[in-house]
Amino acid sequence: MDKFTNHAGLSRRSFLKGAAVAGAAMAGTAALAGCTSGASATGSAGSGEWLPTTWDYECDVLIIGYGGAGMWASLVAADEGGSEVLILEKAPIEGGGNSRINNGEWTVVADPERFKAYCKAFSHGLMEDTMIDAYVEEAARHTEYADKYGMSYEVAEKALAGTIPEYHFLDDNAYGGCIKISSVEGFGMQTYRELDAQRESLGVQVLFDCHDEKLIQNPETKEIVGCRTMIGGEEKTVKARKGVILTTGGFEFNEDLHREYLKCYPWHFEGWRYNTGDGIKMVEEVGAKLWHMSMVISMSSMYTRDPENDFGVDAYLPTNSYFYVNRLGKRYVNEAANGETPHNGWHVYTQFNDEIDDYDRIPTWVVFDETNFTSGKIGVSQGDFFECGNMTSQLPDELRDWDGWSEDNMVELEKGWITKADTIEELAEKMQEWDHWMDAETLKATFDDYQAICEAGADPKFERDPETLQKLDGGPYYCYTLYPGSCSTLGGPKKNEHAQVVDVRGEVIPRLYSAGSFGNFQAHSYGITGGNNSENMVWGRIAGRHASTLENWDAEKK
């Protein structure tokens, strides 16, 4: 018999009696049930029939989502807490989430007090002191835990994305050097393999192809006692004796949630396709308060405009003979800088234009020439230095969305990811087929103006570096679209300093926790370099540690 499978012979009576009188106690109120495994049953809360009559699986701590946060929660709950841990993962095999396919960097605290002050500064007071204190205290232990679990890393002064932290210049450059960064050769894939081996050695089981979970909540005490899940096409019940930790990631691939919560629209992400915001509905159904729902970590992505490859892609032109235009055909930015901080470049897309009743920079069109097209590949290929995202070679075929960019850009041209035309006017007509707001005369005027700027060697309006001002050649011409959405959303349920999910009144929903990008604690802007992986480490460990201390809710009362 599977060690997580429910055992027969316990009674429901004590627990149901306790549920009627216990209030919102954190500890378990009485003994629960379990008969032989099989079909579950539900009914009215008043009769106690909300509780399944049988459990297909049992554990102490249940974790839903096996990305970085779920991994850290499982390690600490099993290792330090001595808990029996079970993980439910949506992907059909393996797991890892965005943590597996990102660049693997995580925050290293160099000066805790200045780091706390920095968190207050960049968040403009939206991050609570208790949360900052808890975060910094736990983050200061990152290298300790990395060493404990045999992670490969080096501490660096500079991140791949640039200077750290993101807004070090605030308060007269008061925060430079308050944090450092881990440098991980092999990126998130390396970290995933190392920590997954630790998870396996601790005997933590992962069930795959788990979806459409519903939390099981005691209607009287509000405790979360487990969940229902579909595994393939079968509904299963999972009992969590101590607590449930939600680490379901973001909602990068949920259009409805994009429209509802993000500060501009549309978005096209390049991450873990299973991040569809499943946890949002789960926590709303049990009364959780949502927070930071408009928070995103993102620069911009080349969007394929291909329904068979519906995601964003990292793209970088090999020469400087290009310019950007908005939907109306006008330049609006220094293309060489694009107004971007390393992780908040999406801010430039939030311009709303009442003349079209829409965001006029989504999409942004990148216009370039034959010289650029033939000078090297535009996107990232497998084996490149920066091999991250949903094309990485170390993903199994079942999880990889595509195999990386072609060496001569021809595959992407044939797929329509890149558009080609003999003249600028013809290029504008092809743009109009995608977005009717493109104006051919305006685009031609912008092209002529850009050429003149390059000849003059000065860009007075947008101050692009003269060394990057390179005229486009005589044609043919090319374009592709940029959208916000390179990385991940960060919104989710509000939590406290113990990673416990709270309701709209700020009261703890007993036995429910969240960690990772599902309710990231950063607010106002993404300011902590290496913060997504650090978020996983901090709140995953805190949640796993705290949940393991709870008394079983089905423990018999003496």
Positive or negative: CA dihedral 34, 36, 37, 42:
negative
pLDDT digits (tens, 9 = 90+) for 493-543: 999 999 999 999 999 999 999 999 999 999 999 999 999 999 999 999 999
Neighbours of 341 (CB within 10 A): 17
pLDDT band at 555 (very low <50, low <70, confident <90, very high): confident
Instruction: Please say whether the beta carbons of 427 and 367 come within 8 A.
Output: yes
Rounded (to 5) percent helix, strand, coil in the chain:
30, 20, 50
**Rounded mean pLDDT, 329-333:** 97
Does position 25 have pLDDT exceeding 80, yes or no?
no
- The residue among 100, 28, 106 whose CA lies nearest residue 274 is 100
Kindly report, residue by residue over 411-432, the tens digit of the pLDDT: 999 999 999 999 999 999 999 9
User: Prior bond to 52 cis, omega within 30?
Assistant: no
Query: pLDDT tier at 209 (50, 70, 90 boundaries)?
Result: very high
* Pairwise CA distance, residues 225 & 16, whole Å: 12
Predicted local distance difference test score (pLDDT) of residue 48: 59
160 confidence band (pLDDT: 50, 70, 90): confident
The DSSP output letter for 480 is E
Structure tokens at 207: 């069930």
Nearest residue to 535 via CA among 93, 98, 81: 98
Spatial CB neighbours of 8, under 8 Å, sequence gap ≥ 6: 34, 35, 36
Nearest one of 195, 110, 120 to 155, comparing CA atoms: 110
Q: Does 3 score more than 60 pLDDT?
A: no
Q: pLDDT at position 40, please?
A: 36
User: What contacts 32, CB < 8 A, 6 or more positions away?
Assistant: 10, 12, 15, 51, 225, 239, 553, 554
pLDDT at 27: 33
Mean pLDDT for the stretch of residues 218-227: 97
Both structure tokens of 60: 């102490």
Place of tokens 């460990």: 541
| Model pLDDT, residue 163 | 78
Residue 162 has what pLDDT? Answer: 78
pLDDT of residue 12: 36
Q: How far apart (Å, rounded) are the C-alpha atoms in residues 53 and 108?
A: 47
Lookup: tokens for 16: 């149901």
Torsion angle, alpha carbons of 69, 75, 77, 78, to 10: 150
Encoded amino acid at 323, one letter: F
Nearest CA among 61, 96, 107 for reference residue 202: 61
Residue 48 vs residue 11, higher pLDDT = 48
Alpha-helical runs (H) found in 186-273:
187-201, 255-261
Q: What integer best gives the mean pLDDT of the chain?
A: 91
Supply the pLDDT for residue 385: 87
Query: Rounded mean pLDDT of 326-340?
Result: 89
Per residue in 354-369, pLDDT (tens digit) is 999 999 999 999 999 9
